Amino acid sequence: MPAAHPTLERAAIHEFYAGRTADAAPLSGCMLALGQILSGDRPSLWVRQEAFDWEAGRPHAPGLCEFGLDPARFTILHVKDAIAALQAGLEGARCAGLGAVLLELWGEAPAYDLTASRRLALAARASGVPVLISRIAAKARPSAAETRWELRALPSRALAAQAPGFPAFELALLRARNGREGLHYALEWNRDDRQFLPRTTSDIAPAGPVLPPLPGAVVSVSFDRPRAPEPDFPRREAG
Amino acid sequence: MEKERGALRLVALDAAAARSGLRVGMALAEARALLPQLLTLEAHPAADADLLRSCAEACEMFTPLVALRGPDGLVLDVTGCVHLFGGEEAMLQRARRRMAAFGLTACAALAGTPDAAWAFARYRRNRVAAPGEDETLARDLPLQALDADSETTLALSRAGFRSLADLAERPSRLLAARFGSGLVERLYRVLGWEDIRLTPLRPLPDIVAEKHFPEPLGHVESLLGVLERLARDVAGPLERRGTGGRAFEASFFRSDGAVRRITMETGAPLRDPATIVRLVKLRIEALADPLDPGFGFDALRLGVLRSEAFAPRQKELDGRDAQADQDRALAALIDRLVARFGRENVRRFIARDTHDPVLAGGTISSLSTHPGASWPEPETGQPPARPLTLFTHPQPIEVLAEVPDSPPLRFRWRRMLHEVTRAEGPERIAPEWWREASPAPATRDYYRIEDQAGHRFWIFREGLYEDRNTQPRWFLHGLFP
């Protein structure tokens, strides 16, 4: 029986892939959350390739607070390309005072090859600083990473009046050094406890269209259907 | 060379033209009549000023106190620097050679006051005035040596004055009454009766160490070796004062007169020579245009531009200083990143007391010491109310199914269609009119929404629905995790 949420080894590289560019913000969020779990209240270096800022906006401090993280812990470095990001990441991975190094690479990034990742992994092992790398718009390539995950955003559990709920993610373990591939987690981030909570598949209600707030209008939530990646929900024509 | 002022006039001449009887200020037509083969070029005061500035920088290898004087003069305060260059005569020769590297013929002189030196450079070329000799030499100078405007000079010569000696003998009261006290002051300064301090081109560093090479040096590794020695030289005074440097500048003086400066800032006071050299090395490697040695560098200078109190910490016996070690390690990391990637790319978040989302999410350079406000405590048991990432410029979205006073049912962003499945809002955020320039931007109604794929967005409608005249516009402002 796997643990309720992923436990990551410190002093190693962990990669997070997202297939869809729209998953950029959930990808950052999930990486930050795991970084928080790994680093506690120690400072973190967050290296962000500029493409992330263009595609998904710049990191927003009030949003970090609302996500349960302390913005004062972060040093952000905006870099142009993957080479600069990797150099900065290596500097960070060698600095034992850090809690975590978070690297965000956009696109195929040929600079991030086996040699570069091994260099990072060695630095991480020597200093004990975990290196989390999130990649988007890229195919998975061989690397020295301890684990490799694929991430998708999950529809949240709706709160009262169909309000969006807590951030929810789906993590699939693509590759692991210890050979436990195929693990699958549906997680919800609780910012008050800074913890991931497992979500059972029954929680994942198929999303229905939002209704204008009319009295008495209730959208039924079915609990018996299996989780469907692209639920075929009824469409409402506007107007 | 020529310039327009109603008519085309000569503003500068080369030696050959001057020998042919041309004068500065002569109309071009007249000059052409005298010398039909005259070659003229348009005057370019801005380029001249640039050249003068780079000459001034090249002269900084003689003394850090270099100032511009007029459109074509440089004044160097070499007090205490002369012995480094083998005496006054030798220093003057060397300065002239340095200017010759720019293709310039410099008229140089050395005297007790800046004004006297300037006057000697004009009218007693290449003269080194021995101490106490200033006045006797200056007495013979013509009236023009005062550098007064042409009317004053004309008036003085009409009054029968020929040299500064004539003026010096008059009571200064009378001169001041007729020509203003400025003239008297200038006279006193040229005669060496009164001295002024130079205002140098660039602020003086706190501590400077420099090394002049007998032969130009081009190898970067050896330059770094010299730099390390200089770093040890500045570390000594820093330690005696109990300070550490927050900003350093390494100046590389190339033999052809070009000066390359490399400045770097640190997050914490620093005086360890090896670290200083390492930061300079990182900075050199990160340069967009590499350090071009050309025919080699003549001199190298390391200056501490800013220093701060820095007390060495004593290690706690029980290892309680882990926190301090961690802070130091982080500060050193930030210094390395700043040296490698530039001051403005290494940033930290700063809390600002505002409800404008764009202002509230600002970042500043990690080296900045701005304290900032405190972060708001999020409400427990609620999902995040603010997005993790924010677009600096809100992105327009195309709303396909609109419901009055509600979030849209469907919208298109970056050509992708999003079906809204969950929504919360509105949260009305009015612009801070006391910050904004008029007219104040429209009020925004923000909604947190989620689409069918589980992506969460922060969108807003600009303007109020009650305002029937304008079509409300929708924007996407941020993304939730």
Domain ranges of chain B: 2-43, 84-190, 207-312+324-338, 346-377, 389-480
Residue B480 in contact with partner chain A when CB distance is under 8 A: yes
B454: chain A residues, CB-CB within 8 Å:
26, 152-156, 168, 207
Q: If you average pLDDT over every residue of chain B, what do you get? A: 83
- Domain total of chain A: 1
- Tell me the chain B residues in contact with residue A32 when contact means C-beta distances shorter than 8 Å: 388, 481
At B319, is the pLDDT very low, low, confident or very high (cuts 50, 70, 90)? Answer: low
Residue A44: pLDDT band (50, 70, 90) is: very high
CATH 1.25.40 fits B2-43, yes or no: no
Q: For chain A, first and last CA: distance in Å?
A: 50
CB contact under 8 A, B383 and A164: yes
Chain A partners within 8 Å of B407 (Cβ): 210
Q: Please give the ipTM for the structure prediction.
A: 0.81
Q: How far apart are CA A92 and CA B329, in angstroms?
A: 10
Q: What CATH number did the domain enclosing A166 receive?
A: 3.40.50.300
Strand pairing category for A44-49 and A74-79: parallel
The answer to whether position A154 is within a domain reads yes
Model pLDDT, residue B265: 86
Whether residue A3 is contained in a domain is answered as no
Q: Is residue A225 part of a domain?
A: no
Decide if pLDDT at A216 tops 50: no
Please report the pLDDT score of residue B314 as a whole number. Answer: 64
Q: Domain containing A187: what range?
A: 13-203
Per-residue pLDDT tens for B190-204? 887 877 777 888 888
Distance, in Å, from the CA atom of A105 to the CA atom of B301, rounded to the nearest integer, reads 40
- Residue A117's pLDDT band, with cuts at 50, 70 and 90, is very high
Rounded percentage of chain A residues whose pLDDT exceeds 90: 56
B-contacting residues of A 191-210, CB under 8 Å? 191-192, 207-210
Q: Label residue A6 by pLDDT band (50, 70, 90).
A: confident
B207-312+324-338 is a CATH 3.30.1490.100 domain: yes
Does the pLDDT value for residue A220 go beyond 60?
Answer: no
**Regarding predicted confidence, which is higher, A146 or A160?**
A146
Decide if pLDDT at B113 tops 90. Answer: no
Q: Is residue A228 part of a domain?
A: no
- Chain A environment of B354 (Cβ under 8 Å): none
Query: Does the structure show a pLDDT above 50 at A225?
Result: no
Q: What is the pLDDT of residues B268-297, one digit of tens each?
A: 888 889 988 888 888 888 887 778 888 888
Evaluate whether B61 touches B22 at the Cβ level (below 8 Å): no
pLDDT of B112 reads 82
* Chain B residues 342-361 within an 8 A CB cutoff of chain A: 345-351, 357, 360-361
- Give the confidence band of B439 by pLDDT, cuts at 50, 70, 90: low
Rounded to a whole number, what is the largest CA-CA distance in chain A? 62
CA distance A170 to B104: 72
Mean local confidence (pLDDT), B326-341: 88
Q: Give per-residue burial for B330-369: e unless 16+ CB within 10 Å, then b.
A: bbbbbbbbbbbbebebbbbbbbbeeebbeebbbbebbbee
Q: Is residue A137 part of a domain?
A: yes
Give residue-wise pLDDT tens across range B338-371: 988 888 899 999 888 887 888 787 888 888 878 7
Which of B304, B299, B321 shows the shortest CA–CA distance to B312?
Answer: B321
For residue A162, give how far its alpha carbon lies from the nearest alpha carbon of chain B (Å).
5
Choice between B316 and B248, residue whose per-residue pLDDT is larger: B248
Return residues 126-155 of B near A (CB < 8 Å).
none
More confident residue, B316 or B134: B134
- Residue A239: is its pLDDT beyond 70? no
Check residues A84 and B441 and name the one with the higher pLDDT. A84
**How far off is chain B from A65, nearest CA to CA, in Å?**
7
In chain B, the residue whose alpha carbon lies closest to the alpha carbon of A29 is B481
pLDDT at B177: 84
Give the Cβ contact number of residue A171 at 10 Å: 22
Residue B385 at interface with chain A, using a CB cutoff of 8 Å:
yes
Any chain A CB within 8 A of the CB of B35?
Answer: no
Does the CB of B401 have a partner CB in chain A at under 8 Å?
yes
Q: Which of A49, A53, A90, A210 should we substitute to test contact with B (largest number of B Cβ atoms within 10 Å)?
A: A210
A55-99 pLDDT, tens digit per residue, is 999 999 999 999 999 999 999 999 999 999 999 999 999 998 899
* Chain A residue at shortest CA distance from B413: A22
Whether residue A231 lies inside any domain: the answer is: no
User: Does B452 reach chain A within 8 Å, measured CB to CB?
Assistant: yes
Mean pLDDT of B40-63: 85
Q: Chain B partners of A63 at a C-beta cutoff of 8 Å?
A: 361, 384, 386-390, 478, 480
Across the interface, whether the CB atoms of B450 and A156 are under 8 A apart is answered: yes
Is A87 within a domain? Answer: yes
